[in-house]
Amino acid sequence: MRRDRRSDVFQEISRSGYHPQIVSEGLQDALAGEEVRAHVVHHEPTFDRDEVRRHMTVLVLTDTRVVLVHTDEHPPDDLLPAPYTSTTSEAVAIEQVRSVVVSRMVSADTQDLAEAVMTIGWGAVSRIDLEPAQCSDPECEADHGYTGNLTGDDFSLRLSAAADGGSALERLLEFARVLSVATTGSRAGQT
């Protein structure tokens, strides 16, 4: 039997200590009353010259949508004369999700999972990698144009055991599993 994990995600947001009320309000609005099936909370500091800024990503899966909430700290700027926090939410219908890509990096020495990257594509953002096309003739000097790859790159999240902990990696992999099942149209295997 599945259970609503809404309290789990809000407790994790609160434990992070990173603007928990602002982050929680942004998520609550984006959830629109839906139950939480899986979630990942990632708190990431970034270094900008002499300042440390923080960023939080909350990723939630409901029965119908993938909900992303990003919260950032900003220094004073033309918009506001004092430091401020911004929260942005995005909700994508599960039917729109085209791909769920998971890369796992395992330590050669210990065979332990060291890092994982999950990329979710729904067609809003694509990246193109181009390089000059070549033929097999080493003497050829003709222009063969370009070749490349078009990759969906709407959202990526990278976690490491060293920085985020093994339980965070497991939550990321669990999220990817549950989302993969949801994109098949099947509800089998969801917890």
pTM: predicted TM-score of the whole model, two decimal places: 0.78
Half-sphere exposure of 53 (CA within 13 A, CB side): 14
Query: So what's the pLDDT on residue 150?
Result: 64
DSSP characters over 137-152: -TT------EEEEEEE
CA angle at residue 50 from 49 to 54, to 5 degrees?
85
Paired strand residues for 56: 43, 71
Could you give the CA distance from residue 186 to residue 182 in angstroms, rounded to a whole number?
A: 6
DSSP characters over 5-45: -HHHHHHHHHHH-SSHHHHHHHHHHHHTTPPPSEEEEEEEE
Query: So what's the pLDDT on residue 178?
Result: 95
Q: What is the pLDDT along the chain (191 residues), one digit of tens a residue?
A: 578 899 999 999 999 988 999 999 999 999 999 999 999 999 887 777 777 778 899 999 999 999 999 999 888 888 889 988 999 999 999 999 988 999 999 999 999 999 999 999 887 666 677 788 888 888 888 888 888 776 655 888 999 999 999 999 999 999 999 999 999 874 444 44
What stretches of 32-159 show up as alpha helix (H) in DSSP? none
Torsion, CA 121, CA 126, CA 131, CA 132, rounded to 10: 120
